[in-house]
């Protein structure tokens, strides 16, 4: 018996040593600077990282530690957010401006330091200050720890596919004008795949993403919607894809010929190259416009897949086949994709649904109006959650205020329910009750005790225009238990909950004119913003913050701030 104990102890020690040995410290420098780039027949000054659009791809393994030195050589304040990372006990590195830090000012620098634990798959990074996210973004790819494998066949090659939007103007000035007038900014001039618009736009024949594939090989497409405001439909002519992960969480394999992906979301999809050598096929993306009355850029970006001879790599393209994309307004196709993904039970880092619930919240989301008394344009568009339209603090980040006990920076009064209950999806409700349109400007937070499990129901409203809202929660994933259209009715809709293998993700596309039920456990102390990832909405107030209190031990409590944390 003693020999068994010694053998077991040795095995555990060997496992611990091998786990430590497999981890690495990965270090990068991000030089943020302005660059003049030619797109759409025009030269435009943009802000980028390390001189490229998109910025550099960061590749790590689960268990690694990451250090990113950000040097701000641009004329703008900047922060970087690591979209989808949990940041357990490293909330100071999360990155949203005035939530967890003051911005890095021009001529200054800051090092983001955090560990990659219990996550694998495709995430991404982006600016989280002003409209700079339009050009300051890149992929963050987390592979399994050394000695571990994917829960699907090993691909021949992994290919990042980043969708973006391009403006023929200064995006920072665009946002400033929108905030000043209360009018949404102009729509973008093009969509892009890996920074390139494709040949359906002017002066873009040679600015198109090309992917060479070999017949019979398997490719892993790491798809990221880094577009600012638009959900997208994505197809590849004559091909189907098998979705194997969403938001860096493994899914049951889902075979589809179309992917719908909202801003902020990621999808990992396997592509089997089963066509003939010498053939070529367009990959294409265009908008899913959930609110037809809202103007949107109705253009298409595309790239090309070329089947090459593996030895010569010569392209012999005669004809390129174009996929038939869904209608811009095809909500049934979008909802089918969004609602058919399920988690891979028992897969790496799988998290079962908590069964005990401590708090229940119903949060209405959508656009309203801001009543104003000065001489500016009135009324202004404003967005809100439970009629609270979020305003960023100006002198101190909320996290610093929480850590140092500074009062007056935020109010701990975000409500669990909307102040008035009404028929949320009736577009004519304001004709009889116009007061519903006007929102309250606040910097409000919801306080959660450590380890609280929350049922959070998102309810879209149609006071101005019902639309699909991609809601992103920092610091956590939430289980998506159910979603549907119309008003959420708990007595009716609780029977629809998937408590076995629901999606577990950080960004959820709440159905247009509908609702979604999510559940998460607040086991990560700190300040975490939840907001719509349509960037035109966040400056107008579609956000709020959770303040998660410390746990009972040092290992479950907020650590002190880094010495080089930027000052306001």
The 10s digit of each residue's pLDDT in 498-519 is: 999 999 999 999 999 999 999 9
**Of 258, 201, 191, nearest in space to 226 by CA:** 191
Percent of the chain with pLDDT over 70: 93
The closest alpha carbon to 187, from 172, 204, 165, belongs to 165
- Predicted structure pTM score: 0.94
Residue 233 has pLDDT above 90, yes or no: yes
CB 12 within 8 A of CB 4: no
pLDDT of residue 183: 78
- Confidence class of residue 538 from pLDDT cuts 50, 70 and 90? low
Average the pLDDT over 192-219 and give the result.
96
Report pLDDT digits (tens) over 240-282.
999 999 999 999 999 999 999 999 999 999 999 999 999 999 9
Residue 122 has what pLDDT?
98
Predicted confidence (pLDDT) per residue in 416-468, tens digit: 999 999 999 998 888 888 888 888 899 999 999 999 999 999 999 988 888 89
Residue 12 has pLDDT above 60, yes or no: no
Instruction: Give the per-residue pLDDT at 185.
Output: 84
Measuring CA to CA, which residue among 503, 477, 489 is closest to residue 87?
A: 477
Mean pLDDT along residues 50-75: 97
Q: Is the peptide bond before 54 cis (omega within 30 degrees of 0)?
A: yes
Which pLDDT score is estimated for 541?
Answer: 80
Q: What's 254-286 look like in SS3?
A: EEECCEEECCCCEEEEEEECCCCCCCEEEEEEE
Say yes or no to pLDDT of 16 above 50: no
Tens digit of each residue's pLDDT (9 = 90 or more) over 356-398? 999 999 999 998 888 766 555 667 788 889 999 999 999 999 9
With cut-offs at 50, 70 and 90, classify the pLDDT of residue 17.
very low
| 289-344 confidence digits (pLDDT tens) | 998 888 899 999 999 999 998 766 666 667 899 999 999 999 999 999 999 999 99
537 — pLDDT class (breaks 50, 70, 90):
low
**Please, what is the average pLDDT of the chain?**
92
Q: Helix, strand, coil % (nearest 5) of the chain?
A: 15, 40, 50
Structure tokens at 4: 């068994």
Q: How many other CB atoms are there within 10 angstroms of residue 408's CB atom?
A: 10
Strand 210-214 relative to strand 241-246, pairing: unpaired
Whole-number percent of the chain with pLDDT over 90 = 81
> Which strands sit side by side in the sheet containing 249-256, from one edge to the other?
190-193, 157-166, 218-225, 266-272, 241-246, 249-256
Residue 462, both tokens: 């149609």
Q: Which residues of 340-361 are buried (b: 16+ CB within 10 A; e: fewer)?
A: ebbbbeebbbeeebbeeeeeeb
Distance separating alpha carbons of residues 15 and 74, to the nearest angstrom: 46
The pLDDT value recorded for residue 363 is 97
Q: Please name the residues in contact with 553: beta carbons below 8 A apart, sequence gap of 6 or more.
A: none
Eight-state DSSP code of residue 196: B
DSSP string for residues in 88-151: TT-GGGS--BTTTB--B-TT-EEEEEEE--S--EEEEEEE-SGGGGGTSEEEEEEEPPTT---S
Give the mean pLDDT of 104-129: 97
The answer to whether the beta carbons of residues 244 and 142 sit under 8 Å apart is no
| pLDDT exceeds cutoff 50 at 158 | yes
Distance CA 101, CA 397 (A): 5
**Extended beta strands in 327-431, E state:** 359-370, 380-385, 388-390
| Closest alpha carbon to 393 in 408, 376, 383 | 408
CA gap 441, 538 in Å, rounded: 13
Q: In the prediction, which pLDDT does 394 show?
A: 93
Which residues pair with residue 498 across a beta bridge? none
Q: What is the mean pLDDT of residues 68-86?
A: 97
- Asked if 191 and 166 count as a contact pair (C-beta separation under 8 A), the reply is yes
pLDDT of residue 5: 38
């Amino acid at each position: 018996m003693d020999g068994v104990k010694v053998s077991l102890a040795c095995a555990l020690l060997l496992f611990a040593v091998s786990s430590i040995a497999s981890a690495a410290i990965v270090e990068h420098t991000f030089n943020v600077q302005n660059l003049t780039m030619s797109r759409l027949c025009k030269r435009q000054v943009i802000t980028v990282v390390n001189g490229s659009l998109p910025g550099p791809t960061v590749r790590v393994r689960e268990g690694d530690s990451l250090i990113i030195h950000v040097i701000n050589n641009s004329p703008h304040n900047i922060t970087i957010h690591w979209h989808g990372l949990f940041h357990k006990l490293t909330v100071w590195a999360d990155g949203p401006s005035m939530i967890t830090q003051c911005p890095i000012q021009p001529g200054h620098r800051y090092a983001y330091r955090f560990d990659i634990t219990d996550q694998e798959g495709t995430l991404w990074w982006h600016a989280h200050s002003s409209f700079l996210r339009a050009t300051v973004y890149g992929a963050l790819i987390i592979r399994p720890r050394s000695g571990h494998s994917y829960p699907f066949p090993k691909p021949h090659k992994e290919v990042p596919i980043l969708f973006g939007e391009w403006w023929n103007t200064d995006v920072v000035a665009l946002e400033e004008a929108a905030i000043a007038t209360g009018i949404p900014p102009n729509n973008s001039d093009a969509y892009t795949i890996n920074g390139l618009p494709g040949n359906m736009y002017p002066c873009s024949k040679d600015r198109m993403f090309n992917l060479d594939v070999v017949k019979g090989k398997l490719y892993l497409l790491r798809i990221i919607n880094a577009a600012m405001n638009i959900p997208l439909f994505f197809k590849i002519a004559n091909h189907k894809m098998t979705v194997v992960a969403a938001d860096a969480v493994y899914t049951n394999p889902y075979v589809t010929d179309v992917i719908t992906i909202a801003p902020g979301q990621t999808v990992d999809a396997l592509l089997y190259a089963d066509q003939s050598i010498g053939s070529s096929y367009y990959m294409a993306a265009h908008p899913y416009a959930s609110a037809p009355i809202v103007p949107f850029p109705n253009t298409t970006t595309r790239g090309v897949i070329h089947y090459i001879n593996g030895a010569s790599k010569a392209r012999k393209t005669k004809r390129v086949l174009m996929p038939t994309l869904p209608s811009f307004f095809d909500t049934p196709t979008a909802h089918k994709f969004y609602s058919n993904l399920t988690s891979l039970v028992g897969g790496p880092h799988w998290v079962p649904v908590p069964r005990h619930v401590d708090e229940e919240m119903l949060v209405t989301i959508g656009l309203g109006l801001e009543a104003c008394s000065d001489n500016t344009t009135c009324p202004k568009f404003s967005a809100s959650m439970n009629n609270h339209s979020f305003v960023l603090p100006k002198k101190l980040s909320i996290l610093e205020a929480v850590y140092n006990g500074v009062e007056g920076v935020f109010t701990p009064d975000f409500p669990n329910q909307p102040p008035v209950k009404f028929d949320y999806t009736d577009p004519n409700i304001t004709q009889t009750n116009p007061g519903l349109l006007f929102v309250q400007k606040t910097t409000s937070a919801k306080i959660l005790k450590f380890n609280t499990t929350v049922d959070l129901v998102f309810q879209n409203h149609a006071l101005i225009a019902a639309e699909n809202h991609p809601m992103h929660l920092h610091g956590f994933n939430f289980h998506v238990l159910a979603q549907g259209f119309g008003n959420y009715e708990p007595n009716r809709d609780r029977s629809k909950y998937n408590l076995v293998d629901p999606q577990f993700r950080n960004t959820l596309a709440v159905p247009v004119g509908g609702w979604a039920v999510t559940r998460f456990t607040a086991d990560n102390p700190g300040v975490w913003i939840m907001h719509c990832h349509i960037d035109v909405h966040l400056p107008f107030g579609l956000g709020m913050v959770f303040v998660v209190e410390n746990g009972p031990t040092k290992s479950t409590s907020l650590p002190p701030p880094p010495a080089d944390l930027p000052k306001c």
